Homo-oligomer: A and B are copies of this chain.
Amino acid sequence: MLHNSNRRLDFCFMREFQLLQHVLATARGSGDVLIPPGDDMAMVRVDGSLFLAAVDQLVEARHVNIETTPVQLVGRKAVTRCLSDVAAMAAQPVASLAAVTFSPNQTEDWATQLFDAINETADRYGCPLIGGDIAVHRQEQSPMVIAVSVLARPGPTPPVQRSGARVGDVVYVTGRLGGSVDDRGLGRHLTFEPRIPEAIELAQHLGARLHAMIDISDGLGRDASHIAQSSGVRVEINADAVPAHAGLDWRRAMSDGEDYELCFTAAGEVPDRIADLQITAVGRIVPHDDPQGSPVVVRNGAESFDGSQLGWEHR
């Protein structure tokens, strides 16, 4: 059991992380679970074939403002969030399932448009919607919840996990970071392209030199700490090197989250670009020899910061 367990969920520090850790600790992967829960996707063997699966939620008022966001972009993001997890494993999407609980005061028109958008997005990215469930809250004004599960198969290379980072690796990110959500709740977090083809090309190009990968949804600081902790290493990030979107400093770039770019660690030479996507070296993997120290350290000139707290806790 977790300590301090009578706290309300909204007062729990790092709640999601703790709860998921608890699930991980107790979820006994059987012999057929080759990648257990805790990575971007799990991998299972069924009758000799490998497939991967993950689930993500999009919650009204928490992750999306449905008053200001076009319904097409709500449905799109519900699917593309999951596809970013597929990219993080360098896997290929296969199929998807969508479950939605609507507010009773939502219109049938909007609900239909939402399913159309989910369906079209799933089709466009090669993971046709193969199942769904629709429910309606009993109470007025209850927030909508969308849960999308995505199923995938390994790409041409074995899936890339979070846990493979090695001391001496260089840490890279794709694209630019920060400022994904604007003041009205709109912005790139609704229109990003999941980096699936780039991830597969990267995995093919680097082969066994690509050691660890994650998508940047919580913010580079938090997501790099997931790599560090599951690999038993420390990430050192050079603040000057972090590729920020125009007008943003490294703190914003590392903590805003919702970038849906990739962070990976590799040994040896890495190209500057994959397809048209910029790749930037932002740091390196060092030993984690101080158990009290942070898993992510940001060096900015002579100063050092705890990078693992730079990020947004999706909840």
Interface residues of A (CB under 8 A from B): 1-2, 4-10, 12, 15-16, 18-20, 22-23, 26-30, 32-33, 36-37, 41-42, 44, 46-51, 53-57, 59, 61-63, 94-95, 97-99, 101-109, 111-112, 115-116, 119, 123, 128-139, 142-143, 145, 147, 149, 151, 153, 314-315
Tell me whether chain A's interface is mostly helix, strand or loop, or mixed.
mixed
Q: Which residues of chain B are within 8 angstroms of A5 by Cβ–Cβ distance?
A: 107-109, 112
Which single residue of chain B is at the shortest CB-CB distance from A137? B143
In the complex, chain B residues whose CB is within 8 Å of the CB of A10: 104-105, 136
Whether the Cβ atoms of A26 and B119 lie closer than 8 Å is yes
Flag if B53 contacts A151 (CB, 8 Å): yes
Contacts of A54 in B (CB 8 A): 97, 131
A195 vs chain B, min Cβ distance (A): 20
CA of A9 to CA of B61 in the docked complex: distance in angstroms? 19
Contact B46 A94 (CB under 8 A): yes
Of the candidates B47, B111, B132, which one forms a contact with A37 in the assembled complex, judged by CB atoms under 8 Å apart? B132
Q: List 17 A-B contacts (CB under 8 A).
A: A2-B112, A5-B112, A9-B111, A19-B134, A20-B134, A26-B116, A27-B123, A30-B128, A37-B129, A46-B153, A55-B97, A55-B99, A55-B132, A57-B101, A135-B314, A147-B147, A149-B149
CA separation between A7 and B62, bound complex, in Å? 26
